[in-house]
Amino acid sequence: MMRLANRGLCTGIIVLLLLATVALVVMPGCGEPEKAAVPVRFGILRNDLHQLAYYVAREKGYFTEEGLDVREGGAFNAGPEEMSAFAAGELDMGLVGTSPVVTFASQKMADVKIVAQANTEGSAVLIRAGLEGEDMASFRGRTIAVPGFSTVQDFLLRLALKKAELSDTDVNIIVLKPPETLAAFSSSQIDGAVCWEPYPSMAVNDNKARVMLTSHQIWPDHPCCMLIVASEFLSKNPEVVRKVVAAHVKATDFINKNKLEATDMARMFTGQDKNVCASAMKNVKFDPDPDPVEIQKYVDYLKTAGVVKVTDTGDFVDDLVDSEYLPRK
Q: Confirm if 141 and 307 have CB atoms less than 8 A apart.
A: no
Query: pLDDT over 70 for what percent of the chain?
Result: 89
pLDDT exceeds cutoff 50 at 325:
yes
pLDDT exceeds cutoff 80 at 161:
yes
pLDDT tens across 261-282, in order? 999 999 999 999 989 999 999 9
pLDDT tens across 100-152, in order? 999 999 999 999 999 999 999 999 999 999 999 889 999 999 999 999 888 99
Q: So what's the pLDDT on residue 264?
A: 95
Give the residue range(s) of CATH 3.40.190.10 domains in the chain: 39-120+224-325, 123-218
Neighbours of 206 (CB within 10 A): 14
- Across 254-264, average pLDDT: 96
> Predicted confidence band at 250 (pLDDT cuts at 50, 70, 90)?
very high
pLDDT exceeds cutoff 50 at 206:
yes
- Across 87-104, average pLDDT: 96
Taking the C-alpha atoms of residue 226 and residue 111, their distance in angstroms, rounded to an integer, is 15
Taking the C-alpha atoms of residue 86 and residue 310, their distance in angstroms, rounded to an integer, is 21
**Which secondary structure element, helix H or strand E, spans residue 128, and what is its range?**
strand 123-128
pLDDT tens across 291-320, in order? 999 999 999 999 998 899 899 999 999 999
Q: Confirm if 188 and 209 have CB atoms less than 8 A apart.
A: no
Min mean pLDDT across 13-27, 75-89, 135-149 is at 13-27
- Across 83-101, average pLDDT: 96
Q: DSSP class of residue 288?
A: -
Q: So what's the pLDDT on residue 320?
A: 98
Mean of the per-residue pLDDT values of the chain: 89
Q: So what's the pLDDT on residue 329?
A: 59
DSSP-based three-state secondary structure for 94: strand
Taking the C-alpha atoms of residue 228 and residue 118, their distance in angstroms, rounded to an integer, is 10
DSSP-based three-state secondary structure for 164: coil
Q: So what's the pLDDT on residue 4?
A: 40
> Predicted confidence band at 47 (pLDDT cuts at 50, 70, 90)?
confident
Taking the C-alpha atoms of residue 93 and residue 227, their distance in angstroms, rounded to an integer, is 7
pLDDT exceeds cutoff 80 at 10:
no
CATH number of 123-218: 3.40.190.10
Q: So what's the pLDDT on residue 168?
A: 87
Q: Confirm if 238 and 321 have CB atoms less than 8 A apart.
A: no
pLDDT exceeds cutoff 90 at 31:
no
CATH class of the 39-120+224-325 domain in this structure: alpha beta
How long is the chain? 329
Please state whether the peptide bond connecting residue 198 to the residue before it is cis, i.e. omega within 30 degrees of 0: yes
pLDDT exceeds cutoff 80 at 88:
yes
> Predicted confidence band at 36 (pLDDT cuts at 50, 70, 90)?
confident
> Predicted confidence band at 28 (pLDDT cuts at 50, 70, 90)?
very low
